[in-house]
Amino acid sequence: MNVDDVIYVLCLLACIAAGSYVRKVRDETQRKYVCSMLGLIVVVVVSGFHSLHCAISVGLGTASVLLVHPSNCHVITFVVMFGYLVFFRLVYLFGLPAVPGPTNMIQMLLTLKVSGIAFEKTAAWKRIRAQDERVNNDQDNANSDPNLNVTSYDLSLQQLSATEIVLYSFNYVGVLTGPYYRYRTYRDYFQMPFKDHAPCVQATIEQLKAAVFYCSLYLLANYMWPLDYALSDEFYNDRSVLYRVLYVWPTFFIFRARIYTGLTLSECVCTMAGFGAYPDDADTNNGEGPRKLYQDMAKDPEKHSYNFTTIVNTRVLDVERCWTFREGMKHWNVCVQYWLAVNVYKLFPIKKYRTGAIFLCSAYWHGFRPGHYFCIMGAPFYVIMEDTWHKLVRKDAVGMRRTVIDVIFWICKWFGFSYLGTAFLLSSFDSIWRFYSSVYHIGYITWALLVIVGLYLTKLKKSAERKAKRAADSTASAGDPSAAKQKAQ
């Protein structure tokens, strides 16, 4: 581990320990300020004077949320927060010191939080306006559309204060590396009694066990197959092409173990504080929170069982066990995916470009290094290939044949993740191009050929199906003279 990793882990462990104290604070207003003060301390510890970036961006974003009309504040805030990332990441061009890695992660989360609350405010304002119009036009049917029902939360979003946005932004839960959560989840933590009845300690212990396991795998694998070796001359001069191709597997395994460790510790921060706990009956979703009405459940909180699904950012077992690349992406970084789906995919004006927009936004959010774009923008290309062959050979397969095909897809999935993920880790264009050239761009070339062959076979398959259908229709007509006569007429 480097110095940044050590500081990062120590801060996470300190935040986990703070959860026990935070839950004991009875006054909710006091608890809210304590949580944000702890968050500010964490930001300053890991960022030093770079914390000014966080303060400036939140100040600009807050002004956009409050001063711009609700009909447009989501667009302006999005531009302000994502635009600040340009200055933040290219600050060295202005003669200022480059920001450390942990500060970059903090800024990424602040970008989602502040712009996310603006999107929520605009959506709520639209529901309020639509309901008012329905009331004015047709009093009897004003509430006929459930999507237009205005809640107290919608009204509270229109009354936001700068203090509330700042407290939400710097809440110590999730400030360092996530998970992303809505303002509603933050508000519920201080207004609902669920945290006092959720299995906080038990859930934290289970997650800590998992974090220790992932960290052990990371340290062991990183010792045996260090990423730095892939940058050395020996790797390219003395190792075979096959060795270099296979090296992407342990490289991405190390990356996964490292990410799993950090995300699991981040979830421990939430569970120890009771943050994001909701009743099972509330039908919670990652990042989103409850999808059913849950306010009445606060009347008898002791009668419910609870989960922390809202703050689970990566479903590790599902990522590892699922068969396809597409499924793996759905289980990875799901809280951020929720933000992208709701605020980018669904709102992007040109429907056919929505998938491209969401991947481009994700790559931009991660950073400006070429590796981010090689990796994230390469994913749709692999998914096209995978979907094509899924329809050709996997979709209708059953029994042992389906099992064999699933295993092949699983192996290909991890090669795809590993091949693209290596670019993410190598980061610079020169390092990426040197590595891909040394393996003759085997990944991209193979996938391109598979796409071409797959599309050709799909065309043949559809042609054969049409011929079979015409033959079946002809046979049916020949066996039924009345049908043939009717067809002729």
Query: Among all residues, which ones are annotated catalytic?
Result: 333, 366
HEC-encoded secondary structure of the chain:
CCHHHHHHHHHHHHHHHHHHHHHHCCCHHHHHHHHHHHHHHHHHHHHHHHHHHHHHHHHHHHHHHHHCCCCCHHHHHHHHHHHHHHHHHCHHHHCCCCCCHHHHHHHHHHHHHHHHHHHHHHHHHHHHHHHHHHHHHCCCCCCCCHHHCCCHHHHHHCCCCHHHHHHHHCCCCCCCCCCCCCHHHHHHHHHCCHHHCCCHHHHHHHHHHHHHHHHHHHHHHHHHCCHHHHHCHHHHHCCCHHHHHHCHHHHHHHHHHHHHHHHHHHHHHHHHHCCCCEEHHHCEECCCEECCCCHHHHHCHHHCCEECHHHCCCCHHHHHHCCCHHHHHHHCCHHHHHHHHHHHHCCCCCHHHHHHHHHHHHHHHHCCCHHHHHHHCCHHHHHHHHHHHHHHHHCCCCHHHHHHHHHHHHHHHHHHHHHHHHHHHHCCHHHHHHHHHHCCCHHHHHHHHHHHHHHHHHHHHHHHHHHHHHHHHHHHHHHCHHHHHHHHC
